[in-house]
Amino acid sequence: MDEYLSGLTTETINQKTLTIDECTTEQMLHLINEQDAMVPGAVAAEIPQIVKAVDILHHVLKNGGRMFYVGAGTSGRLGVLDASECPPTFGIDPMLVQGHIAGGDKALRLAVEGFEDSAEEGIKLIDDCGVTARDAVIGITASGSAQFVIAALKKAKDVGAATIGVVNNKNSKLEPVCDVCISPVVGPEAIMGSTRMKAGTAQKLVLNMLTTCTMVRLGKTYDNLMVDLKASNVKLYDRSVRIIKAATGADDETAISHLENASMNCKLAIMMIKTGLGVSEAEHALDRCEGSLKKAIRSFTKVV
């Protein structure tokens, strides 16, 4: 028996749910819900580490680098999920934030757990992605023992990239290869070892924080409005109009006409309404302020 694995918090038996198989459906649901309620507190305890990680990611992306999520199983799927939501939410290039899972895209739908043990595949991934010293790699593994993830972070560190770990055990094998290690310990799972549950939920919360706070710092929001979203379908078009109205107080007709004049660029439409500038002038003002709408509006107000 592997002493490391047997000593992990995520692998121990939960005394609170020992007889879950004897419970009614309602009792089972209450037990799981009570365990889930522990997750936010575990994440909150890691905020000092999450702050460090966000500062690193902001620096990396602001200076032309990229961020890569690397994980296996549930952890890998969560990384791919978070990365895939960034382009429509924040209007970024899909290559800027990438999610990679051991076993490739097939592993998103089918369990190919053996790949997490392949250090060679982890190294190959970093090589194939062309990771450089300008980039950041975030390794996600509940146990902290997935060789695919550990080897990927080691290789990333060797080329000078920033390395961040998200793990659900303290003093894990992952920690020594991380510049910053975020380790929300959520305790034993309701079903022993099923880290898709509390551990996965904690990871999802952490990843939400990493990308959201990084994008906010990059000027991808105006107040708490996602002004850089892409109006690529009916729902997002409608949301863009509502965001423009909320940010400017404009009526439907004004919001729609400016959105269309701005080629469906919600942020640009708001800049035009707020300042009265034309398309090119508003674009230049935003460029001068590195895409920060609030800074651009304040800068224009000071000038006039």
* Of 57, 9, 17, nearest in space to 185 by CA: 9
116 is catalytic: yes
Decide if 46 is catalytic. Answer: no
Using alpha carbons, list the distances in angstroms from residue 94 to 82, 215, 283: 12, 14, 22
Environment class of 6 (CB within 10 Å of its CB; exposed 0-12, middle 13-18, buried 19+): exposed
Three-state helix/strand/coil letters over 135-149 = CEEEEECCCCCCHHH
Is residue 15 within 8 Å of residue 147, measured between CB atoms? no
- Identify the active-site residue in 116, 121, 189, 283: 116
d(C-alpha 185, C-alpha 188), whole Å: 9
Dihedral sign from CA coordinates of 99, 105, 111, 117: negative
Active-site residue set: 85, 116
